[in-house]
Every structure is written in C-alpha cells, then in structure tokens.
Structure 1
C-alpha cells in the first residue's frame, strides 16, 4: 500500500480510501450489506493496508457507523485507522435534525462517536450542501470540536467552490482549525470540480479525496447489457439520471477498450485514471465483495500512458450550468 499526506497536515492516509456507504442496513438501500457480510470485506481492506475509512451518519440511518464500530476494531487498533465521517443530512424529522447549526453539529458528532465505538473521529466533514448555512457558525463549531478532542481534522464534501473558499478563509482569519480536505465527486465522466474546486485545493495544498471514482459502478461494466445488471444500478436513480449521457457511454467504451488491451478490469482503469490526476490523494471506493478490495489495490500498480490519458480525457461531455448533480 502507498500512503500520502492529508493536505498540509502530517497525517498519512492510504492512497485508496474505503467507502462504507454499502455497509449497514439493506432496508435503506437493497444493495447494502449487513454486518456478517461486511466483516470479511473490512478485514480484507485492513489487511491490504487501507487505513482511510470513510462513512457518514446518514448512511443506513446510522447503521453504517454501527457496523464499523462493531467490526473494525476486531481487525485494527484505533490508532491504525484514519476514520472519517460526515454530517448534515437529515437524521430526524424535526427542523434541527439536519444542516450545520451548532446544535446539530454537536449532537451529530456525539451520536456518531457512540455508534463508531470511539472517543474521536480523525476527519469530520460536511455532507450535502445547505445553501442557507452560516459559514462562520460552521467553522467555529468544527474548531470547537477539535479543541474538545472529539475531532482531529476537518474537511468538506460536495460544497460549492465559493462556499469552500469562504470556509477556508474564515478559518484562517479567525485563527480556527483549517480545512484539510475536500471530498468531491470526480471520475472520467464527472469532472466539473476541475473548473474551480480542484485548482483551489491544489493551490492551497488541500487534500482531494474524491468519491465515486467508478461513477457509482457505471464505469465497471456496460449496464445496457442485462447480464451486467446490479441491484445498485437498477435502484440508484442518481446514476440513471446523471451517468447515461452519450459522453458517459463514450467514456465507458474507452475505459473498456483500454482494460481489454491491458488485460485488466475496467474498474482498475477508472481508478488508475483518478489516481493519476494532479492533486488527488485518495479516491474513495466502495466494495460489496472481498474481490473488489483486491481489484482496487491492484489498480495502484496500473500506470496509464499519455495516449491512454488523452483518449479518456477526449470523451468528456461537460454538464450545463445548474445541472442537478454534486
């Protein structure tokens, strides 16, 4: 396994992050794995040297964190793992059970710590963006959690570039804990972050730990072929809405062509592309089989040449302003 620094911090994380959205309760999403099925996958990830594990309180309404708390510490010491979680999505029906008020941030972290069976998280991140957020309140609350010892580092997810810039600047101006990472959607088919967000993060040495490097599984196989159908693809309306454009299929075909030429899996080509992009520290992948972990780790050794990178880049179809995607 390879490791890299999390932005300007001295913390080192694996060059692949394990995403735990697919672990929790199948009642939330039918493709999600319960604890017994998740156990060998988490063990394989730890044994492969993956130390960066990312989850969220919203995944399976907290069950993802619960499974991690029940399983992860059987295979690794707390000190070995860089554990990341997120908050912001609804965790109840009342108006303060979501968003980035000081009230909800503190309550959400305390609840996550109980589920994860730990007294701190290494990286706390915002989740879905809330346009009416008071950014100063968010920055101060995150800083106070670091000072309390419940959080080590803070970052953001799927936040507009202007808002993230403001958070970074507010933290600096007020002498508060800096944001060390950005978790944005990024893959061969989805490169909107290259417009502003990624250049900003690279300029300020903020770690990019993107999610969906495989485009929610779209880049793994041609789902138009019924033999390649999966429970996730068939039930994930986001994928159907945002990864079925002509350019997306062109990217898929290019990925498949390179994979066939190299004798590797399409998922490995997609991961290798993400790993080769400037500023990308640790793409976060999901796994629902032990074999998925081994495949992802093998992608670290796949180095795409310039011709292959140009061919993949040439398939990109930009999304219009105001497109309803991350």
Structure 2
C-alpha cells in the first residue's frame, strides 16, 4: 500500500542553492501529511538529492521501513559533468551501491531504470537486476520513462513498477496505465502537474529563484505545451478548488494509478494538494476536461 501522492525529491528541492532548512520543511510537511512515497535519483543534482534525502530522513527520525523510497539508475555524468545514459550492468551496479550509501539504506525499496530505450533492456541488464534483488540490494524494480519503453515493459519481468508521464495536458498514456495494471504491475505517475503549464503561477515564478528555475524548465519544452494548455484553463475551474488540485484529482481518478509523484519547494502548496487529493473530482470539471481532450469547442 502506498500514499496516493508521492514527493519528488529532485529538481530545485535537491539543489544546494535551496536552503537545507527549506528542503527539510517540505519533506516534513509531506511526512506529516501521510505521504509515504519519496522519489529521487542517483544523478539528480549530481548526487546531492540522494544525500540530502537520506540526511533529512535521519534528522526527522523517519522510519525507512514505512516508506517507499525510490531511486533511479542509468543516468550518469561524464568527466565534464555532462549527463548521459549508461545501462550497462557495471554502471547500474555501481549506482546502486552509491545510492545505498547516500541514502544510508541496507536495501533500496524501489530501483527504477531512468529513461531507457527498449534496446537498453538487454538480457544482461535483466540478469543484473535479478542478481541485485537476490542479493538483497533492491526490493521492487521498475522503469521511469516515456511511452515507447513503457509499452515494451508492460507485463515483462523483472519490472514490478512502471512510472510513465500522465497529466491533463498529456493524457495519452491512459491505455498504457490500464494495461500495466491488468498485467499486475504498480503504476506511479510522473509529471501529474505538467509543470503547471495549464495555470502558470507567474507570481511565484517571477519573484523567487526557485520559480525562475521552474519557469526555465517549462519554457525549455517550447511554446507548444504552453499553447495547448490555454485550452485547458477554462476547464480547470471549480469553486473551492485550485487548478493544480483539479489537475491532480483528474490524474488520481484514472484507472490503475496508484500514486502521483510531484515536486515542490513550498510546504503550503504540498499541504493543499494533500488535502485536495482526498476529494473527488467535481463532475462539471471532469466533463469539461473530457471535452477538451476530445477536441470539442
């Protein structure tokens, strides 16, 4: 059993420039709100994400056995610090050992391959993952990536968990989520808020360093997602709801979604989403979103 929301311990949260006390406040709010899924990766912030998460969990007195702590392998830095992919058995094994040390864990509750291509899922890699599990280094195994590799991994051993991207802005992976669930795999959703492109929080983006960083990430994907998001904005309105809460509620009601993982640097934002996750999506909002997805005016 997992919480319906998960905290992404990555992005700006993991940056050294984001104060340790502020990162601690976000994590504490998540744990106090009942969030049990914590998602990070060996490559995030050049390893600082895992080290910070492990350190803060100890500082907060959290029991790792009550949490699904997930990390990722396969994204590596070269000698100049540039990130690339390496899913060789040696690279994955090295990252697993490093993640265990950084998180101060004896076993990784969840290890996911980070953005592989179908061709990366070789027999040697699968055998390595099986050996890591048999050795007690990892428990659950999964993949975080885009639709092509997700479709390839549905129902395939040794993957217990899939983590596709799904949001009101990009609903196309719904059949994939349902197929994975039918195959007995757990589904964690990445990017459920689509970087808030459907309701840009300009007041936060333009007035704080973390906001400028998130704005740059949103713009890096070009104007198309932001343009598509304009059509969704009228649908994400309901009395007593924020657009983010409606967008999250839509994701959580999709068949097969066990947990939606999102990132934030604001405890208030996290607390509001946690509260909103307990409410059903209003019928009017559901219908309005469906009309937009169908291309209706």
CA deviations 1:165-222 (Å, max 9, x no partner) are 5545652xxxxxx31211111100012213x522321321322211111111223x33
- Distance, in Å, in 1 between the alignment partners of 2:31 and 2:184 is 27
CA contact (8 A) 1:269 1:302 kept: no
Partner of 1:6: none
Say if 2:191 is the partner of 1:218: no
From 111, 115, 118, the equivalent of 2:105 is 118
Distance 2:263 2:203 in 1: 22
2:10 maps to 1:23: no
Instruction: State whether residues 55 and 65 of structure 1, in contact with CA within 8 Å, keep that contact through their aligned partners in structure 2.
Output: yes
Q: CA deviation at 1:290?
A: 1.2
For this pair of structures, how many residues does the alignment match? 287
CA distance in 2, matches of 1:74, 1:50: 17
| Unaligned residue ranges in structure 1 (runs of 5+) | 1-11, 28-32, 172-177, 319-326
2:166 aligns to what? 186
Q: Which runs of 4+ in 1 moved over 3 A?
A: 93-98, 163-170, 225-229, 237-242
Alpha carbons 2:191, 2:262 under 8 Å: kept: yes
Aligned-partner Cα distance in 2 for 1:227–1:156: 32
Deviations 1:102-135 (A, max 9, x none): 0111001111111111121101001122454143
Q: CA RMSD in A?
A: 2.5
- TM-score when normalising by structure 1: 0.80
- Which blocks of at least 5 consecutive residues in structure 2 are unaligned? none
- 2:226 aligned with 1:244: yes
Q: Closer, same or farther in 2 for the Cα pair 1:213/1:152, shift >3 Å?
A: same
Given that residues 210 and 282 in structure 1 are in contact (C-alpha distance below 8 angstroms), is that contact kept between their aligned partners in structure 2?
A: yes
* 1:134–1:287 Cα change, 3 Å: closer
The aligned counterpart of 1:83 is: 69
Q: Is the contact between residue 209 and residue 281 of structure 1 (CA under 8 Å) also seen in structure 2?
A: yes
Which of 63-72 and 228-237 deviates more?
228-237
How many Å separate the matches in 1 of 2:121 and 2:200? 43
- Where do residues 130-149 of structure 1 align in structure 2 (5 Å cutoff)? 130=117, 132-149=119-136
Q: After TM superposition, give the deviation of residue 238 of structure 1 in Å.
A: 3.7
- Mapped partners of 1:143, 1:301: distance in 2: 37
Q: Is the 8 A contact 1:13 1:51 kept in 2?
A: yes
Change (3 A) 1:123 1:243: same
Distance 1:214 1:96, change over 3 A: closer
1:102 aligns with 2:89: yes
- Change beyond 3 A, Cα 1:66–1:156: same
* Structure 2 partner of 1:129: 116
CA contact (8 A) 1:139 1:167 kept: no
Query: Which moved further from structure 2: 63-72 or 125-134?
Result: 125-134
Q: 1: CA distance between counterparts of 2:121 and 2:145?
A: 16
Pair 1:134–1:227, CA change in 2 (3 A): closer
Q: Does 1:206 align with 2:185?
A: yes
Q: Does 1:272 align with 2:261?
A: no
